[in-house]
Amino acid sequence: MTMKLVSPGEAAANTNDMSDQAREDFVRIGEMAKKYGVTLRTLRFYEDKGLLNPQRDGSTRLYTRRDKARLKLILLGRKVGFSLRDVKQMMDLYDPTGSNTKQLRLALDKSEKQLARLQKQRALIDDAINELSNSMAAVRQMLSERSALQASAAR
């Protein structure tokens, strides 16, 4: 194995090239919020909860592809009704070098439970819609009858 010696200037130039390339992969908080339709406050909240971990350049938050992928998962999880705690548990089990069997099993288990909850909620909502529709039909009928009575009395 041969080591190539480089001057400090070359090393600095190589580092700067890499950081310029890496910087292109970063997105600032405003761009991230706009792209995913969330507020800056939401992104900071997710960071406080340990769901996102943007890099810092001074006080500027810089989000990586990993952060973007995690935000997509957070938003999907929230959309289907998972708590942030559930989302974090599932994401924290991710191992880029492993099979992620434990993560997948947990995700499936939580998903099955959430699907059952959503189906129960849908049944309750369907019942409420039917009851409201029936009530509205009865009110329409009463109004129709009263309008007809008023029309008869006016003649």
Q: How confident is the model at residue 22 (pLDDT cuts 50, 70, 90)?
A: low
Q: Mean pLDDT lowest for which of 21-25, 46-50, 100-104?
A: 21-25
Exposed (0-12), middle (13-18) or buried (19+): which is 126, by Cβ within 10 Å?
exposed
Is residue 24 located within the same domain as residue 70? yes
Q: State the CATH number of the domain containing residue 60.
A: 1.10.1660.10
In a domain? residue 92: no
In a domain? residue 59: yes
pLDDT of 25 above 90: no
pLDDT of 58 above 70: yes
Contacts of 56 (CB under 8 A, 6+ apart): 62
Closest CA to 90 of 73, 68, 106, 78: 106
Percent of the chain surpassing pLDDT 90 = 77
Segment 74-81 long-range contacts (CB within 8 Å, at least 24 positions apart): 74/46, 75/36, 75/38, 80/111, 80/114, 80/118, 81/114, 81/117, 81/118
pLDDT of 135 above 70: yes
53: left (phi over 0), alpha (psi -120 to 50) or beta: beta
Is residue 80 located within the same domain as residue 116? no
pLDDT of 7 above 80: no
In a domain? residue 31: yes
Closest CA to 88 of 101, 73, 99: 73
Is residue 78 located within the same domain as residue 134? no
In a domain? residue 43: yes
Question: Rounded to an integer, what distance in angstroms lies between the CA atom of residue 71 and that of residue 39?
Answer: 12
Among candidate residues 39, 65, 84, the one where a domain is terminated: 84
In a domain? residue 135: yes
Is residue 75 located within the same domain as residue 127? no
In a domain? residue 155: yes
In a domain? residue 131: yes
In a domain? residue 134: yes
Report the sign of the C-alpha dihedral through residues 93, 98, 102, 104, in that order: positive
Q: What is the pLDDT of residues 82-126, one digit of tens each?
A: 999 999 999 999 998 999 999 999 999 999 999 999 999 999 999
Mean pLDDT for 124-152 is 95
Among candidate residues 31, 65, 84, the one where a domain is terminated: 84
pLDDT of 1 above 50: no
pLDDT at 90: 95
Structural domains of the chain, count: 2
Higher pLDDT, 47 or 8: 47
Residues pairing with 60 in the sheet:
57
DSSP 93: T
Q: Which domain holds residue 128?
A: 111-155
